[in-house]
Amino acid sequence: MSDQADNRAPYAQIAAHYAELITSGELQPGSLLPSIKNLSQEWKVSTATAEKALRKLRNEGLVRGIHGIGTEVLDRPAPMSSGAQRQDRGRQTGSSWGSGERSDSHQAAVVSAPTDVAQALDIKPGADVIRRRRVYRDRHGIVAHSTSWIPDRYGRLIPQLAKSERLTGGTSLQLIAQATGRPITHRIDTASARLLTAEDAELLELDPAEPPTEPVVVMTAKFVDSEGNVVEYGVDLGGPGRKWRTESEVAQ
């Protein structure tokens, strides 16, 4: 059980704790979670709260209830996150990684902006733009290939944006806000699906000659500062079989 301060509801804290153990592989498929009674005693909550935590894990597809046996861990990949969700997670926890995730293959370069990227960033096609790429993985494989497109003028303020290494001192958006003094005030998210191209398959480390026939999820996020400048355009290409999921509380 975590000793760190957590403002989430008790049931959400319990669910997050076991979600981390499951997605990191510490709790293997087939393992049984503690009973409702044991959870309530361990976490010092009511049985209703403990049951709600298990129900949340079931709704997330991480476990299943077996009558007369208990709650069993399932072997399923975690869903992919959008760039916006990663930004929210980074602001809340200091890390954009989801439970059990890591990132690698960090690459950065100054390139000519493709037409769709130029349109999203409100710059001229072919203008210099920073392209940052990385791969998010969990124990099941690639969660998503993520690309951030950033106008080159921010690279002149923050040279590390154009370096092929993990950023230090914050996310790209945090670094830009600090350097310009203009906070990021809103974002525009999109979700779609498409069949993989040969280039997509290469980014996801698949055989370009035999890409999966099932569509993959594509998430985009456009981030805008307090003066209306688009400072970043992110594109997340989901790994095969990954689904996008979001959750929110419903007002009673």
Same domain, 129 and 215: yes
Residue 119 lies in a domain: yes
pLDDT tens digits for 180-199? 999 999 999 999 999 888 88
Q: Do the domain assignments include residue 118?
A: yes
- Number of domains the chain contains: 2
22 shares its domain with 59: yes
Residues 233, 166, single domain; the answer is: yes
Do 118 and 185 have their domain in common? yes
Assigned domain for 3 exists: no
- Cα separation of 55 and 14, whole Å? 11
Domain match, 54 and 103 both = no
Does the structure show a pLDDT above 90 at 59?
no
Measured distance CA(77)–CA(201) in Å, rounded: 19
Q: Is residue 177 part of a domain?
A: yes
Say if residue 66 is in the same domain as residue 134: no
Q: Stretch 118-138: mean pLDDT, rounded?
A: 95
**Same domain? 129 vs 202:** yes
Q: Which two tokens stand for residue 111?
A: 């390139």
Mean of per-residue pLDDT scores for the chain: 88
Segment 118-126 shows an average pLDDT of 96
Q: Mean pLDDT across the stretch 6-31?
A: 87
Pair 49, 91 in one domain: no
Residue 7 pLDDT: 73
Domain containing 172 equals 83-238
- For residue 99, tell me if it sits in a domain: yes
What are the φ/ψ torsions at residue 166 (nearest 5 degrees)?
A: -65, 135
pLDDT at 243 (0 to 100):
82
Indicate which CATH number applies to the domain containing 116: 3.40.1410.10
Q: Determine contact, residues 100/17, Cβ cutoff 8 Å.
A: no
Average pLDDT over residues 153-164: 96
- The per-residue pLDDT for 234 is 95
Q: In what order do the strands lie in the sheet with 102-112?
A: 102-112, 128-138, 141-151, 230-238, 216-225, 184-194
The verdict on 128 and 198 lying in the same domain is: yes
Residue 1 lies in a domain: no
201, containing H or E segment? helix 198-203
- In this structure, of 20-24, 36-40, 69-73, the range with the lowest mean pLDDT score is 20-24
52 shares its domain with 153 = no
Task: Looking at the structure, tell me whether residues 171 and 144 fall in a common domain.
Answer: yes
In-domain check, residue 247: no
Last residue of a domain, one of 73, 91, 108: 73
pLDDT of residue 207 exceeding 60: yes
114-135 average pLDDT score: 97
| 2: confidence class by pLDDT, cuts 50, 70, 90 | very low
CATH number for the domain spanning 28: value is 1.10.10.10
Q: Where does a domain end: 73, 96, 116?
A: 73
pLDDT of residue 102: 85
- Asked whether the beta carbons of 231 and 152 are under 8 A apart, the reply is no
Please indicate, yes or no, whether residues 14 and 102 belong to a single structural domain of this protein: no
